[in-house]
Chains A and B, each alone.
Chain A
Amino acid sequence: MDLVLVNLIDGLVTGLLLFMLSAGLTLIFSMMGVLNFAHASFYMLGAYFAYQISTYMGFWMGLLIAPIIVGIAGAGIERYGLRKVHQYGHVPELIFTFGLALLIEEVVQFIWGKSQMPYEPPEILQFTLFSISGNAIPAYKVFMIFVSIAIFLALLYVLTRTRVGMVIQAALSYPKTVEALGHNVPLVFMGVFGVGTALAGLAGVIAGPVLGTFPGMAFLLGSIVFVTIVIGGLGSLWGALVASLLIGWITTFAASYNVAMADVLIALGFEQPVDLSESAWRDLWSLTLPQIGPILPYLLMVLILVFRPYGLFGKRDV
């Protein structure tokens, strides 16, 4: 029972982290129709920038400055790269972001090398906040939860309660009409792209110290972010949140419980073959839940696409 509580907290941390990445991506995707392959690369840039800044000015300045730099870089890339490619259609845009992802990875390796970076949580947060039957909950994790929730509330407020938010929401569904009403839609696009990448950068800043800062970190998270926004529904902030938490908890619980496929099959009334090494089904019999954990979100995505193609909270088809 205690372990369930601990796993709930761990899953929450993973889920909220994923949310910060997917919130920006889902807005960018639904507004511009661009599958931004480089989104996770901005997450990586956030971690590296913050590490570099923290060596001179400490963790907190990194937390403040790095996302801003990443956001400005993101807006610049939208303004001078993506917008130019936009007129040629979606495929060139896709290829552009794909190339950008590769480029960012190479540049990061060129500057910082291929090794792990010694990026640490701030000293003030390096203690155990509380323990649940021997399982320590580090203060830094609670800090991550609070930062993510604050970001979610701020985004929700901006999108639903302010004029800018109204324009963005309108531009999501009827960009032509919004433009006809005299709003500068390209500027809105640039702003959304900048804020989206800044959020990804922020996620990198706070995830870098716990998940490791290395050139493969973007690749590790890249695909799961797309899964999140498809499950949540395009353009929906709530959808992104729910899907992120769902994936966070699914992967955490799957990795925590050693449910063996053999037990499940026996419970279902199948008989275990005596000599497993000769059986054609031996791989199935020897599977355990932690081994298939990482593919469960993808399985969920397939199911969602089959039964509810517009996602959990989405309003229109993918």
Chain B
Amino acid sequence: MRITTRIGVSSVLALAISAGAAFAENIKIAFIDPLSGPFASTGTNGLNQYEFAAQYLVNDKGGVLDGDMFEIVGFDNKISPKESLIQLQVAIDQGIRYIVQGNSSGVANALTEAIEKHNRRNPDSRVLFLNYSAVDPALTNDKCNFWHFRFDANADIKMDALTDVIAQSDDITKVYIIGQDYSFGKAVASAAVEMLGEKRPDIEIVGNELHPIGKVKDFTPYARKIVASEANAVITGNWGSDMLGLGKAVIENGYTGPIFNYYAGSDGITAAFGESGKGILMQVSEGKLNPPEEKALEYFTAFREKYPESDVSQPRITNVIEMLAKAIDQAGTADDVVAVANALEGMEHDSIWGGKVFIRPQDHQAIQDVHILAHTNEGVQIDLDNSEFGPVAVNTVEMAAMDSATTCKMKRP
């Protein structure tokens, strides 16, 4: 019934749009992320999610203001900061006012700096930077600025939520921390050590090590060390093949405790773990996929219909689109980004994935529920990799790190 109504509504709308195409204007959003090279699958998947979210959540419902439509324009940055700045300039030259980017904090750092400079020098063509995935805490602390908004929980917030959950379970006494040898891996490790020390000083950290990123052929020796240390929890910030390799080796060699991770989902990883990761993989993330809210399930069903091979791997993308639409409506304009930014500041939004999202005015960090998601095939309605396996929320920290400190000193226009 619902679906038929929606199809009816949207086809009527489609007619209305084509009739009014001559005067309705598109609000363009530049998607600057890797669309070629080794990270292309993540980038392309993200672009699909944006295009679908814009269509389904905004355009099909009549757009914003007086029927203006969202249009996502993809720009390939090859995950290079230098290339991103070129693409940013191209986007600005095309008159685009909204930039979304997520993969790699290195790129986000370059973009936020460039955008601040640009906005200072060109008050007539200012742009907003909506960061949906880059989790380096510095972006909303020392390097924060008025034009940058982060919709993902940053690495420290996630670790805060994760250590809250670990602190509550008494059977965890020994923790092994392992990560990739670069800035993010180090940030995860130091946050874990610091926060565990505060919340559960009795927990012994039996291992804290970094391995070369993308160079380890076989994780078995690391797995042996983890098993030999008698750890009953593992924390890792690994992603991609390093996550899969580490997880598989650890499970295969007799470890049965939880592996708390940031990125063990989608891009084939969920399917490759399959049955073996059940009850072991625990991902800390925003966006509760399972058990799904009614709206979320509808959204997912429609998404899979359009992109059968893609996942809703980054639920926060719907928040970006919906909140931007709301802010533009509130501001009454899409051209004056200062007004839109002011509307976004302090906005409270009911996410389709459940819970609220609140943009903290002092640092533009989205505060939201952070979940511990277990990898399983029981009670999964929204799966990943078409594998029947997916993340199910087992623990939720509501409005995680709501009153955490920030060093952000923002200059407002």
Q: Give A contacts to B, CB under 8 Å.
A: 3, 6-7, 10, 13-14, 113-120, 128, 131, 134-136, 138, 210-212, 214-216, 220-221, 224, 251-253, 255-256, 258, 288, 290-291, 294
Contact = CB atoms under 8 A, between A and B. Distances in A.
Contacts of B309: 113
Interface string B212-229: 101111101110110110
A255 B178 CA distance: 13
Contact of B387 (A118, A134, A135, A291): A118
Contacts of A224: 217
A212 B253 contact: no
B244 interface: yes
Nearest to A126: B276
Interface string B374-401: 0000000000010100000000000000
B254 A136 contact: yes
Contacts of A13: 220
A230 to B, nearest CB: 18
Nearest to B385: A115
Nearest to B249: A210
Given A14-B218, A211-B217, A216 B224 contact: no
A14 B217 CA distance: 9
Nearest to A248: B218
A135 B253 contact: yes
B350 interface: no
16 contacts: A3-B224, A10-B218, A113-B309, A114-B267, A118-B272, A119-B272, A134-B228, A210-B249, A212-B272, A214-B244, A215-B38, A251-B218, A252-B218, A255-B221, A256-B225, A294-B216
B241 A214 contact: yes
A220 B228 contact: no
> Which 6 residue pairs are nearest across A and B when measured between Cβ atoms?
A115-B268, A136-B254, A116-B268, A255-B221, A114-B41, A118-B271
A10 B385 CA distance: 31
Give the most central of B210, B212, B214, B249: most A CB within 10 Å: B212
B62 interface: no
Give the most central of B181, B245, B252: most A CB within 10 Å: B252
B211 to A, nearest CB: 6
Nearest to A292: B212
B47 to A, nearest CB: 14
Given A134-B230, A136-B227, 20 more contacts: A7-B221, A7-B224, A10-B218, A10-B221, A14-B220, A113-B309, A114-B41, A116-B241, A119-B272, A131-B254, A134-B228, A134-B254, A135-B228, A138-B253, A216-B214, A224-B217, A256-B224, A256-B225, A291-B181, A291-B211
Nearest to B268: A115
B73 interface: no
B227 A135 contact: yes
A211 B267 contact: no
Nearest to A219: B214
A116 B272 contact: yes
B272 A6 contact: no
